[in-house]
Amino acid sequence: MTAAQKSVATTRRIKVLLAKPGLDGHDQGAKVVVRALMDAGMEVIYTGLRQTPEAVARMALDEDVDVIALSSLAGSHLPFCTKLKPLLEASHLQDKLWVIGGNLPAQDHDALRQLGFTGIFPTGAKLDAIVDYIRQNVKEA
């Protein structure tokens, strides 16, 4: 095995949980992001629609992901993230990268950051910006 091969073999692929929180049914964007992350070499677990905060926290823990990503377009991002934050903390997932995308008004960005969602990608964000942000900010396992 060459050094390069070894490094590929031992460096774990970035593992992302991409969840659709709440009752929102808009999944076009989430599925597009899933494909972009997979094309970028990441492993993506897409939850499908209608996930509760409890389900998201449980999957993030069970799947041992590096990134917890939400896609929200129906306006309930703040109440959802408010419920999700303590659950992720209780599972000791505060060191993971938390990101969120979708229909997220600028006036809510500070509140989302305070809830631990450091990567915020409102409508209009570029796919490569999401990929780059995750690569640069994901914490080494």
Partner 1 sequence: MNDRAKEELKPITNESGIEVKPLYTAVDVEKSGGLSMLGQPGEYPFTRGIHRLMYRKQPWTMRQYAGFGNPADTNKRFKYLIANGQTGLNVAFDLPTQIGLDSDDPLASGEIGRVGMSVDTLRDFEVAFDGIDLNKITVSLTINGAAAILIAMYLAMAEKRGYDVKQLRGTAQNDILKEFVGRGTWIFPVEPSIRLVGDTIEYCAEHAPKYSPVSVCGYHIRESGANPAQEMAYAFCIAKAYADDVIKRGLHVDEFAGRLSYNFNIFGNLFEQVAKFRAGRGLWAKIMKEQYKAEKPGSMWLRMIAAGGGGGLTFEQPEVNIVRGAYYALISALSGTQTMALCSYDEAYTIPTEYSARISLRTMQLLIEEMGLTETVDPLGGSFYVETLTNQMRQKMEEIMAEVDAQGGIVKLIAEGAIQSKVSAQAYRMQRDIESGKFRKVGVNCYRNEKEEEHPVEFHPYKEEDARAQIAALDKIRAERDPARVSQALARLSADASAGRNVMPALVEAVKAYATVGEMTQEMVKIFGRYQEPIRF
The residue ranges that bind partner 1 (CB under 8 A) are 22-28, 31-32, 34-36, 38, 46, 48-50, 52, 74-76, 79-80, 103, 105, 107, 122-124, 126-128
Give, for 81, the enclosing helix (H) or strand (E).
helix 77-90
* Least separation in angstroms between CB 28 and partner 1: 5
Residue with tokens 């492993």: 43
* Least separation in angstroms between CB 135 and partner 1: 17
Give, for 99, the enclosing helix (H) or strand (E).
strand 97-102
Q: Determine the Cα–Cα distance for residues 13 and 49; give it in Å rounded to an integer.
A: 25
**Which residue's CB is nearer to partner 1, number 6 or number 35?**
35
**Which residue's CB is nearer to partner 1, number 91 or number 122?**
122
* Least separation in angstroms between CB 46 and partner 1: 6
**Which residue's CB is nearer to partner 1, number 7 or number 76?**
76
Cβ atoms within 10 A of the Cβ of 46, count?
19
**Which residue's CB is nearer to partner 1, number 105 or number 141?**
105
* Least separation in angstroms between CB 88 and partner 1: 17
- The one-letter code for the residue type at 70 is L
* Least separation in angstroms between CB 96 and partner 1: 22
CA angle 79, 88, 40 (to 5 degrees): 95
Q: Per-residue b/e over 67-76, b at no fewer than 16 CB within 10 Å?
A: bbbbbbbeee
**Which residue's CB is nearer to partner 1, number 32 or number 141?**
32
